[in-house]
Amino acid sequence: MKRSAADIREDLQAHVDFLVEAGAGFVIRRSGDEAGSGAPAAAGAALPPLAARPPQTSEERAALEETDRQVRACTLCVLHKFRTNAVPGEGNPAAELMFIGEGPGRDEDAQGRPFVGRAGQLLRKIIAAMTFREDEVYIANMVKCRPPDNRVPHQEEIEACWPYLIRQIELIRPRVIVTLGRTPTDSFAPGREGMTVRRGKFGDYRGIPVMPTFHPSYLVRNEGNRELKRMVWEDMQKVMALLGRK
């Protein structure tokens, strides 16, 4: 039976109301503006390119450590109230390859390290399959403190944390960035389509190629879906080819 437009509108409204109540502020923003990209998405355009990789100086290494310290002491957004540990990121301070996730979960909050839970174990397997050691890459997140109940970080939380992430990128100057899931992809390779369409195509952040792919926790939640794994592997092979690992 065909449903009336009014019925469909009512259902849709109820769905949106539910998501907003659950803390998904992005639902409102995405409908009206540039694909929900907000300030961070536009930020790269006006900044100097980072594609050239002069060797990292000892001052830059020290600045990266100082950024970690600032993150651990940060109170810029409400998320600091819920944290056990802030999670600045970890890995090689001069990594060629940088992964950016959404934000710490329970395990990460407990340990102060990124991607150490189930999704993290999968990410670390993917990194190994790409022929990288963990200490060769850098792993960071859009927000450095755990959102309560693992909700998606709000735009104002992402914006508060954004300068830390950009500082990390400027100091590390990776040759390639991989964005894991929608939250980092919205800022680094914005678009209106879902991840199924946006994944696998290089974007650009200030001269650094950005490869969006599915978040490992999405793969964990859809464990039996081999097609998802195949797609992530296809995306990672493009990254490997760019870095001469294939």
105 touches ligand URA (CB under 6 A): yes
Report the site for ligand URA in 211-240 (rule: CB under 6 A).
217
Number of residues that bind ligand URA (CB under 6 A): 13
Rounded to whole angstroms, what are the CA distances from 131 to 53, 125, 162, 231, 237? 22, 10, 30, 18, 11
| Shortest distance, position 48 Cβ to ligand URA, whole Å | 28
- Closest Cα to residue 89, out of 36, 26, 27, 161? 161
The one among 114, 153, 191, 209 contacting ligand URA by CB under 6 A: 114
Contact flag: residue 141 with ligand URA (CB under 6 A): yes
Whether residue 157 contacts residue 86, with contact meaning beta carbons closer than 8 Å, is answered with: no
Tell the smallest beta-carbon distance from residue 59 to ligand URA (Å).
28
Residue 89 as a binder of ligand URA (CB under 6 A): the answer is no
Measured CA distances, 13 to 1, 7, 25, 29 (Å):
21, 10, 14, 15
What token pair was written down for 177? 């960035």
CB of 56 to ligand URA, least distance (A): 24
Using the minimum distance from each CB to ligand URA, give the nearer residue, 102 or 159: 102
CB atoms within 10 A of CB 226: 9
Q: Would you tell me which residues interact with ligand URA (CB under 6 A)?
A: 101-105, 108, 114-115, 117, 119-120, 141, 217
